[in-house]
Amino acid sequence: MAETSLFGLAARGRRFVYVFDRSASMAGRPLAAAKGELLSSLARLGDGEQFHVIFYNHRLHLFAPAGREGRAVFATDANRAEARRFIGAVRADGGTRHAEPLAAAFRLRPDVVFLLTDGEDGDDLAAADLGRLERLAGGARLFVIRFAADGAPPSPRLATLCERTGGEHRTLDPFALPDAAE
């Protein structure tokens, strides 16, 4: 069992799913910081842990090494290298919809889901999505990092889902992060 983190939110497990917003508002420094932190988190996993990566806007963009879409892979050097290529090719565009990427992540039966978004309250989950996602989560814990201005409150339903799954929610200003390349 490994411990890894994303922007200071640490979690232990054997199966990790990373769900990252790639909407148009993530362009530039926010997406660059997110990609860098994702690669650092993957580097902390051992060969015995599994991971999957989902980037999303209004559609899903799934990591699919060697055509294995929709499945977690072991954190071998080869799979991490494939993930680096996938992550490097991701570009920001479109809108933000959280429900389907979270549902796809929970269907993989992970121990931990890390979600990163800059979504506003208007992008938050619908009330109906909250109950459905809580049931799909099983034993997975959800950790959410929201990029927003310092002091912005968390997205209410995403924060509720974190609490109900035993995870955490953190709001960070991406422009205040050290070493985030543009």
DSSP string, 84-153: HHHHHH----S----HHHHHHHHHT--SEEEEEE---GGGSPPHHHHHHHHHHHTTPEEEEEEE-STTPP
What CATH number belongs to 20-176?
A: 3.40.50.410
pTM of the complete model beyond 0.75: yes
Q: Which pLDDT score, from 0 to 100, does residue 178 have?
A: 66
Kindly state the percentage of the chain with pLDDT values over 70. 95
pLDDT per position as a tens digit, 97-127: 999 999 999 999 999 999 999 988 778 888 8
pLDDT per position as a tens digit, 137-154: 999 999 999 999 877 777
SS3 61: strand
